[in-house]
Structure 1
Amino acid sequence: ILEEFKGVASIELTLEKDSILTKEEALKDIYRKLRPGEQVAAEAARALLDNFYFNPKRYDLAKVGRYKINRKLGIDKQLTDSVLTVEDILATIKYLVSLHANETKMNGTRDGKAVELRLDVDDIDHFGNRRIRAVGELIQNQVRTGLSRMERVVRERMTTQDIEAITPQTLI
């Protein structure tokens, strides 16, 4: 992180004050904040973060979301990349640091060419930042949710039922 944001005083001061020094400690700290009161295991924390943001089964930017991120942050990712990447997160932090420093422009890329991006704070109420989801997309999301629930139920039943007596009808 220090290499990526060398010379940015706010990041350097934040990292100086931060008591968390390892990746494992950071994962556990994030897990504690997302799921307070639960036991913390490094693997559980990693799985939670991966499922939240990097698992295509549970997180989907869709083409519109990827397009908006690419355009806003000056990233050149395929529109079919529907999950967040480390590059997205770093570009977001760079954008926020530049905004905090009252800068008006930032370097980025579009269509493989270097461009200067204008920095501004988004108005969340502006209709340009809203979109209407198509019926197909809404149905797709509901079917995905239903199938993932059914998958979880089937897995549970497979572990509790007798292996000899299992049939597809008893699992569903």
Structure 2
Amino acid sequence: MHKEKFKDVYAGVFVLAVGLILFAASFSVPKGAAVSIGSDFMPKVTCGLMAVLGGIITWNGNIQAKKYNENNKNHREEKKHYKELAASVAALFVYMILLVPVGFVIMTTVYITVQSWILSPKEKKNPVKFFMIGAVASAVIYYIFRNIFVLMLPAGILGF
């Protein structure tokens, strides 16, 4: 059997396993007494979604493995995206470092804009669109956490 044939299956099983392990571990996060949705809510949701997506990746990988034909395989080398990976990791670290002092709304807007720029192909780079998506997403997330979940996010230099 060819390793490439099952690479999505392996990735899916890995994501599924990590998601399930983290989901089980999220039950040890204390809920808190002051609010109806405690600090254990988001880890459970995130890890649950990770497990579901891992299952979907595994399912689709199995379908693709059945359709795999080595003779019809495109023999060109896939481009490795090491620069994009390094830039993404650097952007994430800068985001984490500056999140508290600068604030959630500003840093999330900047992070989403930069990450979209890094991951998009050259012909689809649109900084105005990326900025608008980042601004709307960070404002909506901030509103939901502040007013629905009653959880505080770093206000930073904006002070609200």
Q: TM-score, normalised by structure 2?
A: 0.30
Which structure shows the higher helix fraction? Answer: 2
**Highest RCO, 1 vs 2 (Cα 8 Å, sep ≥ 6):** 2
Which structure shows the higher strand fraction? Answer: 1
